[in-house]
Amino acid sequence: MELIYLLITPALAAGLCLIPAGKKWAPAVTILGTLATLILSWGAALRTARGEEVVALANWISCDSFGALMALLVAFVGFTAAIFSWGYMERIVAPNNPGKIRRYYARYNLFLLSMLAVPIFSQVALVWIAVELTTLLSVFLVSFENTPEALEAAWKYVVLTCMGAAFALLGVLMLYWGMSVSGPAPFTWAGLTGASTRVPPALLQAAFLLILIGFGTKAGLVPLHTWLPDAHSQAPSPVCALLSGVETTTILYAILRLLPILKAAPAIHAEKWFLTFGLLSVGAAAFLLIQVKDYKRLFAFSTVEHMGIILVAAGLGGSAAHYGATLQMVSHALSKSFCFFAAGSTLLAVRSRDISAVRGLIRTSPVAAVALLLGGLAIAGAPPFAVFLSEISILKAGLASGQYLTTGLLAVFIVIAFCGILFPINRMVFGNPGEPSRNRVLGATSVITLVLAAIPILLFGLYIPEPLHELLRLAAVSLGR
Amino acid sequence: MAELNMTLSVLTKLDALAGGLFLLTAFGLVAMRQVLASLNLFVLQSILLAASAFILGHQHDSIHLYAVAGITLAIKAVLIPWLLRRTISQEIYARREISQVLNIPTSLLLSVALMILAYFIASPLLSLGHEPFIKVNLPIGLAGLLLGAYMVMVRREAVPQVIGILAMENGAFFAGVAIAPDLPLIAELAAAFDVLIIALVMGLLTRRIHERVGTTAVGRMTSLKEE
Amino acid sequence: MANRIFFNVIQVLVVMALAPLVKGILNRLKENLQSKRGPSIFQPYRDIWKLFHKDEVVSEQSSWIFRFTPYVVFVTPIFVALLIPVLTGYPLFFAFMGDMLGGGFILALGGFFATLAAVDTANPYGPMGASRTRMVGFLAEPVFMIVFFTVSFVAGSTIPYIVHKHWVTPLANFFEPSHVLLMLAFVMLIIAEGGRIPVDNPSGHFELAMIDESKGLEYSGRGAALMKWGGSMKFFVLLCIFLNVLVAPWGLARGETLGEVLLAIPLVLVKIFVFILILTVIESSFAKLRLFRITEFLGAAFITSVAAMISRLLEI
């Protein structure tokens, strides 16, 4: 039942937000709503960590450990981003426009709903629809600031991802065909895994490639990633946190769900495809990072890199690598959202997007500077942050399974990206501020959010609590052996 | 039994006819210059999709497919053109697109190559289906998908790009009605509404771009780059 | 045997006699569709009669090609009429003398001589129109070829009678996608070769814009009559190829009696009339294409015919 509540709450919040009842109404409703979803998904995650599956409507709405993990991530980032939005939207985007702010929160809630729906639906056709909806409901969030660049970014976003979704649709329909050829079974992830041995391999391969290309466009895999830096940097920062942090991760979740199905047909070499696309993404992102001029774009390219790392981890095979993949998903979601909160704070302080325009941030706005520094270190994979732990576990698993070339390449690319992220941030945080700039004080909500979001990434870098460990382990098991 | 076979063969031929014309509309979408003509071709393509669904429904005697045909007609042939006309101002429709990325005869040749590619991709899968309809619908649906993708890449104006995406969905559904005829109706319904929302979102975005940037030549909006 | 020769002769006579009628019906129908009254359907006969009774004026600068061409243009459709099914569904005496490719080449021969004659006069509009006609012609050739190859692949032969027996007579084939696509490609071809809108305006008087009409500009008297008559016979022959071989073989005589063959004449005329109706509607709905857009038009015809061939070869 909680899953149904999980779906209803954001929808309700979206509706309530549109009521013009004062400036604080919409943000408050949203924050309460996201808090409720966080509690609900926490409950569901705890239940799945114990090994049981949460079922609301058999074969239609249910989630296992992997799904609950994703729902929890979405809910958490949704909660923190909602708190951040409160101060951010008022200050920067729509200073005196309560109507526009209400619409923002309504769309925010709907976007959250669609992202929650992806791991919760178990009918694969509905998962496709939820994935499509995550794009459509976020288009106007991306173009929210209504500048020509934002509109261009939104247009590229919607065109490329809808193209990918059409390819994925054909792939999903082919999967259905394969299943109906082999006998009646429910069209859920579990049903597909069960029926996969009876599905003709040619069909599985065609469907897999179509879905990989289709959903891969949405997840930002190279070479289909061209929309990602634009869309994830032109959106308002809390939306960027949602997009980069959890939306691409939920799409990757949908792709990774295919892995156990493809085990039945080893001739497809699904893992090789994952490795290829993953390494390509990590490499291309690492090199493209270097020449970026806008710090939000920097973080967006870093998203591409991390999606690649997760895909490589899934492709390496073996339970250790899969555990690393799920851990990486968690750590990336938390760290990337923190990075975007930091970027938003920087934007609040300096009002400019260019890396070259920001210097000596530590003097202008210490809170934003510290946050940016921490965020950069966290996402680049420095200890003692969570991303470091997950990347090390992936590299260890890769070495243990004997795939030295892949692991070596991965390590090289990670190092390149590390430098590519930290050099500009170093320049931004330290150094002489060019002209004396006013000391802008960040609002309380921004500070609260930064602290709230920083806690998990520090915590999980040092110690992973037992329920989370169980949850991750079960999620990794569901990825196949 | 012989009569059943005759009916089957007539239905197969009719379905093949719908498929051939579907393919022709896909080519036409690449070749047409006028924005309004591409919208009309899309309507024609959706009608052909509904016709194929209808024929298949007759063959399988399935209410599902009749419902799918009805939904397709209602949403794609009626609602979406109405929606696109409402959200985007009329003067955009009077435009012609003078230049595409590649000129039209080259585009047409590439479209033929894409069609052949679609047949090659689909041919190992065709041996799996027991029905003659799959032999027609799957390659043509895949070709429609690829041609729609090509159209999106090659056109510079906003409305033809929207129509290209809708044409891709048409292609996927054209293959889908043959290979997955008993997909749960809820999924079909939701997918149809999803296409509606795509049209709505893209239409509104086009209007906003037109208002803000002054032109709908979205292919020329390339300011977000790394130099 | 004698019957067959006789029917072949009747076929040629029918082509010669009815071609101007078809032209007249086309003109009248087009005017009617545009809410005008239009000339009488027998007007082309009167024109040809008038022209035969006028003096012929020939430029001194022109060579034997100019004098020779009207005869070529008149005779080539007659040769082709010997080869194709006009009235009967079974092969006649001369049917195996040439196949569809041969027929195509013979028609092209007539066009070739007309082009040469247009250049021969040294009138500025002649060569201009001639080069345009050649452009349309060379772009249309691949479409012809592919159409013929597709139908020959199905029938296993390139003789029109055999093609028509295997291609269209099984009724189920009518709805095949390759058939529909070939029909469309050939209609576009007829529009191009016959000089109809949207490729060319047959009733235009502006020499700078003429494509097909320019070949008859310099002729007078008997030459002009033969060019007109030959032109309308070529159109009739194209229509016969389209309707009797590729699309709708119904109404052709099955038996060997004279009565049946004569009965086939009005039936064929009815078929032609229906097609002319469609053609006139197309003509009245479109505007003339700019010259460079003609390449796109014929490119589309080419793609359609290639799509037809591929869908046939891949057994769809």
Domain boundaries along the sequence of chain A: 2-477
pLDDT attached to residue A435: 63
* Interface test mutation site (partner C, options B5, B44, B115, max chain C beta carbons within 10 A): B115
Residue of C176, C295, C303 lying closest to B27 (CB–CB): C303
pLDDT attached to residue C234: 92
**Is the pLDDT score of B225 beyond 70?**
no
Q: What is the pLDDT of residues B9-19, one digit of tens each?
A: 778 888 888 88
Strands (E), A90-177: none
A136 — contact with chain B (CB < 8 Å)? yes
Distance CA C255, CA C235 (A): 27
Give mean pLDDT, residues C229-237: 92
H or E element that contains A55:
strand A54-57
Q: What is the pLDDT of residues B131-176, one digit of tens each?
A: 778 888 888 999 999 999 999 988 888 888 889 999 999 999 999 8
Instruction: Check CB contact under 8 Å for C310 and B19.
Output: no
Q: What is the pLDDT of residues A69-95, one digit of tens each?
A: 899 999 999 999 988 888 787 777 666
Distances in whole angstroms, Cα of residue A70 to Cα of each of A108, A326, A466:
18, 10, 18
Distance CA B122, CA B14 (A): 21
pLDDT attached to residue A26: 81
Q: What is the pLDDT of residues A383-433, one digit of tens each?
A: 888 888 888 888 988 888 888 888 898 999 999 999 988 888 888 888 777
**Is the pLDDT score of A51 beyond 80?**
no
Weakest mean pLDDT among A144-153, A350-359, C228-237: A350-359
Cα–Cα nearest to A69, from A477, A386, A341, A459:
A477
CB A141 within 8 A of CB A150: no
Quickly state the pLDDT bin for B218 (edges 50, 70, 90): confident
**Is the pLDDT score of A481 beyond 60?**
no
Q: What is the pLDDT of residues A336-383, one digit of tens each?
A: 999 998 888 888 888 788 888 788 887 777 888 888 888 888 888 888
**Is the pLDDT score of C122 beyond 70?**
yes
Distance CA C52, CA A66 (A): 92
Which residue numbers of B have CB closer than 8 Å to C's CBs? 9-10, 13-14, 16-17, 19-21, 23-24, 27-28, 31, 104-105, 108-109, 111-112, 115-116, 119, 123, 135-136, 139-140
Between residues 50 and 89 of chain A, which touch chain B (CB distance below 8 Å)? none
User: Which of the two residues, C66 and C251, has the higher pLDDT score?
Assistant: C66
Distance CA A189, CA C63 (A): 83
**Is the pLDDT score of C147 beyond 70?**
yes
Residue of C181, C296, C316 lying closest to B31 (CB–CB): C296
Q: Is the peptide bond before A384 cis (omega within 30 degrees of 0)?
A: yes
SS3 A222: coil
Instruction: Check CB contact under 8 Å for B224 and A159.
Output: no
Task: Give first-to-last CA distance, chain B, whole Å.
Answer: 70
User: Which of the two residues, A461 and A287, has the higher pLDDT score?
Assistant: A287
> What is the phi/psi pair of residue A107, to 5°?
-65, -35
Residue of B161, B175, B218 lying closest to A173 (CB–CB): B175
Distances in whole angstroms, Cα of residue A275 to Cα of each of A93, A309, A409, B68:
40, 9, 11, 39
**Is the pLDDT score of B190 beyond 80?**
yes
pLDDT attached to residue A74: 92
Q: How many CB pairs under 8 A join B and C?
A: 74
**Is the pLDDT score of B1 beyond 60?**
no
Mean pLDDT (chain C) is 85
Cβ neighbours for A378, distance < 8 A, ≥ 6 positions apart: A335, A338, A339, A385, A386, A387, A457
Cα within 13 Å of Cα(B5), Cβ side: 2
